[in-house]
């Protein structure tokens, strides 16, 4: 079978897909002449303008000046695919291109959707929960942005636009090429790529995406607990003022430190039943969530693999039973895992502050770590050194 057959078949498929875009509401985008843009070209690149203008005029003259054809055949030749292509090339040069994302934006949030939970030896639901959080955040931001100003799609070397007044939701948009979406008020761009079996990648770009992320992640909590990981909202069974007076006073101190410090680690120590775990939940619900912190509750399996998401400005980590995780590295159980080292790296505020990102000095991530333990005797001594644990609260009253 010759190559011409395959070429014709590909052209037929492309035409069908292009018709599919038109049937889905997309319309061809025509580039309009802009006198200011044309004068800009003439002033800054006159020789290129002159050369391309002469080339275009020569092509048109060749199309209508053929000696071996009738005059009407030469007129029809003006509308041939070759002549049309040559004129389009010149037209695209002298007219401004459709707006494109500024890839110099440092703030990017991307996700491949829909996020699928896959459980195997190399991928446990910890990754799923973090990806799901990123997916929820991105789509909540899109809801906050509302109706875009521009929706374009580049496909088969052509631009199409979607009438924004007809836009309903992202799932209904037919994606065959690359979609570019723009919100002028927020200076936010969105790129959408399509993959097989309905999968898409969304890439959100902005000069400053942090305020939108903070709004989208308000009151979100992530439980990273082995095969029970999930994303939801922060819940607290007890209020802070239901705790004994000494715990309330300690909470006030913690709150003051949260307001003044970029990184803070708090250890709640006491026997089982003294309310350490429910206290961390109350602090998260009543203090940290109103300040814009996203809460992560980590268990034994998650602590070894957790990396704080870089797109979040404020993060709270809750680690229960730290004395069973950050055990003395001289003991046999601690020698068989790296949980102690990972907790130390999360707590090491001194190490964190030793290097500053010069490109984003104003966007240093704020981190609050709330740990509970039954006794500090089993903790590795390095955990309690200055610069890691900032406050220690003694829970002595039976609460639960």
pLDDT reported for residue 364: 72
Question: Does 140 have pLDDT greater than 60?
Answer: yes
Helix residue spans in 180-224 (DSSP H): 210-216
Tell me the three state secondary structure of residue 95: coil
Binned at pLDDT 50, 70 and 90, residue 156 comes out as confident
Q: How confident is the model at residue 361 (pLDDT cuts 50, 70, 90)?
A: very low
Q: Classify 87 as helix, strand or coil.
A: helix
Architecture of domain 219-395: 3-Layer(aba) Sandwich (3.40)
> What gap in Å lies between CA 60 and CA 11, rounded to an integer?
26
Q: Is the pLDDT of residue 87 over 70?
A: yes
Cα dihedral across residues 89, 93, 99, 105: positive or negative = positive
| Mean pLDDT (whole number) for 270-298 | 93
Q: Which helix (H) or strand (E) holds 188?
A: strand 188-194
- Residue 351: predicted pLDDT: 46
Q: How confident is the model at residue 123 (pLDDT cuts 50, 70, 90)?
A: low
Give 96-104's long-range contacts (Cβ < 8 A, gap of 24+): 96/31, 96/34, 96/37, 97/31, 98/29, 98/31, 98/152, 98/159, 98/180, 99/150, 99/152, 99/180, 99/182, 100/180, 101/180, 101/182, 101/189, 101/191, 101/205, 102/189, 102/205, 103/205
d(CA 126, CA 297): 11
For residues 146 and 55, the model is more confident at 146
What tens digit of pLDDT does each residue of 38-56 get?
A: 888 888 988 988 888 888 8
Cβ burial of 271 (10 Å; 0-12, 13-18, 19+) is exposed
pLDDT (average), residues 74-97:
78
Average pLDDT, the chain: 81
Which pLDDT belongs to residue 5?
A: 41
27's CB contacts (< 8 A; 6+ apart) are 160, 161, 162, 163
Q: Report residue 124's pLDDT band, with 50, 70 and 90 as the boundaries.
A: low
Looking at mean pLDDT, say which of 80-84, 222-226, 272-276 comes out highest.
272-276
Q: Which range is least confidently modeled, 126-135, 275-284, 307-316, 318-327?
A: 318-327
Residue 181, token pair as written in the block: 């979406």
Q: Where are the domains of the chain?
A: 30-94, 107-213, 219-395
Q: What is the DSSP letter of 338?
A: S
**C-alpha distances in Å from residue 367, one per residue of 145, 262, 269, 358, 370:** 27, 6, 20, 19, 10
| Residue 327 tokens, joined | 């055990």
Summarised one tens digit per residue, pLDDT across range 303-313 is: 777 788 889 99
Q: Using CA atoms, how far apart are residues 308 and 314, in angstroms rounded to an integer?
A: 10
For residue 239, the model assigns a pLDDT of 93
- For a pLDDT cut of 90, what percent of the chain falls above it? 33
Quote the percentage of the chain above a pLDDT of 70: 82
pLDDT score at 316: 94
């Amino acid at each position: 079978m010759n190559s011409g057959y395959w070429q014709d078949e590909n052209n037929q498929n492309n035409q069908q897909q292009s018709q599919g875009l038109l049937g889905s509401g997309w319309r061809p985008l025509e580039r309009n002449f802009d006198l200011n843009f044309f004068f800009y070209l003439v002033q800054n690149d006159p020789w290129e303008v002159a050369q391309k203008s002469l080339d275009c005029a020569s092509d048109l003259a060749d199309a209508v000046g053929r000696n071996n054809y009738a005059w009407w055949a030469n007129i029809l030749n003006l509308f041939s695919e070759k002549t049309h292509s040559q004129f389009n090339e010149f037209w695209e040069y002298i007219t401004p291109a459709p707006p494109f994302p500024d890839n110099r934006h440092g703030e990017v949030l991307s996700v491949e959707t829909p996020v699928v939970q896959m459980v195997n030896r190399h991928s446990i639901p910890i990754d799923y929960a973090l990806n799901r959080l990123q997916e929820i955040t991105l789509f909540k931001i899109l809801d906050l942005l509302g109706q875009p100003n521009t929706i374009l799609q580049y496909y088969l070397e052509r631009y199409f636009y979607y009438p924004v007044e007809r836009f309903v939701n992202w799932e209904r948009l037919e994606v065959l090429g690359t979609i570019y979406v723009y919100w002028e008020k927020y200076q936010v761009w969105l790129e959408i790529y399509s993959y097989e079996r309905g999968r898409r990648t969304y890439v959100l770009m902005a000069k400053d995406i942090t305020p939108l992320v903070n709004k989208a992640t308000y009151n979100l909590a992530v439980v990273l607990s082995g095969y029970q990981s999930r994303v939801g909202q922060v819940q607290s069974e007890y209020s802070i003022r239901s705790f004994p007076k000494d715990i309330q006073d300690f909470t006030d101190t913690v709150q003051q430190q949260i307001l003044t410090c970029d990184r803070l680690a708090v250890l709640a120590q006491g026997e089982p039943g003294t309310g350490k775990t429910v206290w961390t939940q109350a602090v998260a619900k009543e203090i940290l969530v109103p300040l814009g912190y996203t809460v992560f509750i980590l268990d034994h399996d998650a602590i070894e693999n957790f990396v704080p998401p870089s797109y979040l400005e404020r993060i709270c980590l809750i680690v229960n039973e730290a004395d069973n995780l950050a055990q003395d590295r001289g003991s046999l159980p601690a020698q068989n895992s790296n949980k102690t080292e990972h907790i130390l790296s999360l707590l090491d505020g001194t190490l964190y502050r030793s290097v500053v990102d010069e490109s984003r000095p104003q966007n240093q991530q704020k981190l609050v770590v709330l740990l509970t333990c039954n006794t500090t005797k089993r903790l590795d001594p390095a955990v309690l050194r200055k610069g890691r644990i900032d406050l220690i609260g003694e829970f002595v009253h039976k609460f639960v």
